Copies of this chain bind each other. A is one copy, B any other.
């Protein structure tokens, strides 16, 4: 059994989970603070998807912490399969949500120029929220790849 960076029950895995849910929470916080975000379906989807990611990553962070404290191993084929499916589903949903929001943000700020002219949308907040969502997705993508790799070696 290889020990990879970001494996479940390791400090690196726990740090990745912390990164995932904190950036996802920051993304939701910034988006919710922007007025009129609910006018766009993509932004609402971003909030829903980041919410799901917080639940998933927070749950796995708790599991990692428990494994670290009790020095138990999480290398179990059934458990790793569950992590793989969960990580892949949330990471695809997160990338889709971040990209669709990025598409809408670029449309508002560049193509329609709704930021400098009326209705003066708060594009900087939209952009920050999307950037945070991409960072959160990046951490989740690292976890997903490590889990999938582990599944082949369990």
Using a CB–CB cutoff of 8 Å, the interface residues on chain A facing chain B are 39-42, 45, 92, 95-97, 99-104, 106-107, 110-111, 145, 148-149, 152-153
Contacts and interface: CB of A to CB of B under 8 A. Distances in A.
Interface of A is mostly: helix
A99 B41 CA distance: 12
A99 B107 contact: no
Nearest to A88: B145
Contact of A100 (B41, B102, B145, B152): B102
Contacts of A42: 103, 106-107
Contacts of A110: 41
Nearest to A42: B103
A129 to B, nearest CB: 13
Q: Closest 4 A-B residue pairs measured CB to CB?
A: A100-B103, A99-B99, A42-B103, A152-B152
B99 A40 contact: no
